[in-house]
Amino acid sequence: MLDRLQPVHFIGVGGIGMSALAGILATRGYSVSGSDPRCTPVVEALKLKGVRVFHEQTAATIRAVQTAGAAPLVVISSAVPDTNGELIEARRLGLAVVHRSDVLADLINAQPSIAVAGSHGKTTTSTLIATLLEATDQDPTAVIGGIVPAFASNGRHGEGPLLVAEADESDGSLVKFKAKLGILTNIELDHTDHYPNLDALIHTLQRFADGSGRLLANRDCPVLRQHFKADSWWSTEAADGVNFAAIAQEERGDGTLADYYEDGLLLGSLSLPLPGRHNLSNALAAIAACRLEGVPFAALQQALSQLRPPGRRFDCRGIWQGRIVVDDYAHHPSEVAATLSMARLMVSSGRSPLPKPPQRLVAVFQPHRYSRTAQFLQGFAAALTQADLLFVAPLYSAGEAPIAGISSAALAQAVRALAPDLEVLEAQNLDHLARQIAASSSPGDLVLAMGAGDVNGLWERLEALGDRPMALAA
């Protein structure tokens, strides 16, 4: 599909998935253009790589690209609606229009690749794999759904043989990928706007597994144990009966010490600078993938100190009036529970990777999609009871139509029913949320904002408050 003689144009080039592909193709010598109305650091970085960026998504943009030379290949994502002016014009002109997953499939299928799929942890796991490969001189190409700290980018062209990619299951397009090594982190029902039930999700991921040369999977996940036949298994629960195991010996707020086994044989210890049992599993998957690619264990042991989570995964934004503000992408009950459990460990142990140890856990949660909130309302409520103080931001619809009885208020009420002594505050909008936090939180608090919507803009809204008196305005 990809042809170096054909220009490639991305509609929505600044998106986290689109920008990685555009940057890699530009580095590899393709003529790349794209459109995005935003002037973000990601967009500016693409311009430095030679990507021609238009800030208007209109028919005129497509005509400008069309008249610049050969007819371009137009790339869209699932976020681009049929009403987009560029897309309408591209189709009217008869241009080839493909989904971003088709471009990613071309890259994955053209060289030895590691593709990471699963309901939770795939961005972190693929980030850790790419980081370990880079730290052990493998020089990988990477296409990740988050900013990789080691690269300061979500996409990277490497000269080494391997490509590491995050395989997103949300729209089912990962069945196109034919990776040398497929990885499954876990399976839980999610993306209920696309999958009617868990069986449908399992079937899609089985097709992904069948298309992989080898499959590495998490033995601790009961769904994977029951429905998949992996070539290699990993576990953080037991060393017997699996190919790779990491058994925690000490869990702290700033990391984990674990014993590492291969096929039941103790090889040594791991000192992981990432706290939380879920991060131990993610890191073990990354180590296992590298071992299957022949990277020496001793080299990986030394490289562990370089591991950092991707952007928006427990991302410390700074300290505002004594409060440590952290941004996290958690938007499924299991992710919320794991993130809060890790934060609680930081509070209780007095140790953390944050600028200072937090004294109290203040959770800020923004429900994402009506369908997801309806499906998991009680699961979210149970997870959020771990907080010492809870703020519920307005539900982020992601374009979905409302569902009767489903709202942030409904979630707040569900939390109160489970934990009557927990103070739960509801915000009218994000500016109101910032003022609520200013008035009701205290210096020394860890303010942990979770969600896949626009709650990641909380830090900027707190900064905008400056040193104003901490009193709520109407």
Query: Does residue 376 carry a pLDDT above 80?
Result: yes
Give the span between the Cα atoms of 300 and 398, in whole angstroms: 40
Secondary structure class of 134 (helix, strand, coil): helix
Average pLDDT over residues 378-394: 98
Note the pLDDT of residue 192: 86
**Which residue in this structure is represented by tokens 């030895």?**
112
For β-strands 423-426 and 389-392, DSSP reports them as: parallel
- CATH 3.90.190.20 residue spans of the chain: 315-465
Residue 198 near residue 206 (C-beta atoms within 8 A): no
Average pLDDT over residues 82-86: 96
Q: Which two tokens stand for residue 371?
A: 């369908």
Residue 330 near residue 336 (C-beta atoms within 8 A): yes
SS (H, E, C) 287-302: HHHHHHCCCCHHHHHH
Question: Quick one: which of 451, 214, 443, 252 has its CA closest to 336?
Answer: 451
Name the pLDDT band for 467 (thresholds 50, 70, 90): low
Query: Does residue 1 carry a pLDDT above 90?
Result: no
Average pLDDT over residues 225-248: 98
CATH of 8-99, one of 3.40.50.720, 1.10.760.10, 3.10.20.600, 3.90.1520.10: 3.40.50.720
Beta-bridge partner residues of 215: 182
Q: Which amino acid is at 29?
A: G
Beta-bridge partner residues of 363: 390, 448
Q: What residues contact 124, with CB distance under 8 A and at least 6 apart?
A: 146, 279, 282, 309, 310, 313
Q: What residues contact 80, with CB distance under 8 A and at least 6 apart?
A: 11, 12, 87
Q: What percent of the chain has pLDDT over 90?
A: 95
Give the span between the Cα atoms of 468 and 474, in whole angstroms: 15
**Which residue in this structure is represented by tokens 């998935």?**
17
Give the span between the Cα atoms of 315 and 192, in whole angstroms: 27
Over the stretch 259-272, which tens digit does the pLDDT of each residue have? 999 999 999 999 99
Over the stretch 22-80, which tens digit does the pLDDT of each residue have? 999 999 999 999 999 999 999 999 999 999 999 999 999 999 998 767 899 999 998 89
- CATH 3.40.1190.10 residue spans of the chain: 111-306
Query: Does residue 18 carry a pLDDT above 70?
Result: yes
Give the span between the Cα atoms of 86 and 331, in whole angstroms: 31
Note the pLDDT of residue 68: 65
CATH of domain 315-465: 3.90.190.20
Query: Does residue 469 carry a pLDDT above 50?
Result: no
- CATH 3.40.50.720 residue spans of the chain: 8-99
Distances (CA, A) of 325 to 152, 352, 434: 21, 14, 11
Q: What residues contact 146, with CB distance under 8 A and at least 6 apart?
A: 16, 123, 124, 127, 154, 166, 310, 311, 312, 313, 329
Secondary structure class of 14 (helix, strand, coil): coil
Note the pLDDT of residue 420: 98
Give the span between the Cα atoms of 287 and 74, in whole angstroms: 37
Give the span between the Cα atoms of 159 and 43, in whole angstroms: 24
Name the pLDDT band for 163 (thresholds 50, 70, 90): very high
Note the pLDDT of residue 67: 75
Note the pLDDT of residue 75: 98
Query: Does residue 416 carry a pLDDT above 80?
Result: yes
Give the span between the Cα atoms of 209 and 63, in whole angstroms: 41
Average pLDDT over residues 413-440: 97
Name the pLDDT band for 473 (thresholds 50, 70, 90): very low
Over the stretch 109-123, which tens digit does the pLDDT of each residue have? 999 999 999 999 999
For β-strands 163-166 and 265-272, DSSP reports them as: unpaired
Give the span between the Cα atoms of 344 and 436, in whole angstroms: 22
Query: Does residue 474 carry a pLDDT above 50?
Result: no
Average per-residue pLDDT for the chain:
95
DSSP per-residue letters across 198-235: HHHHHHHHHHHHHTSSEEEEETT-HHHHHH---SEEEE
Q: What pTM was computed for the model?
A: 0.93
Average pLDDT over residues 213-226: 98
Average pLDDT over residues 398-413: 96
Question: Quick one: which of 31, 22, 169, 184 has its CA closest to 107?
Answer: 22
Give the span between the Cα atoms of 186 and 284, in whole angstroms: 13
Q: Which amino acid is at 24?
A: I
Average pLDDT over residues 148-171: 96
Average pLDDT over residues 79-104: 96
CATH of 111-306, one of 2.60.40.2550, 3.40.1190.10, 3.40.50.460, 3.30.465.10: 3.40.1190.10
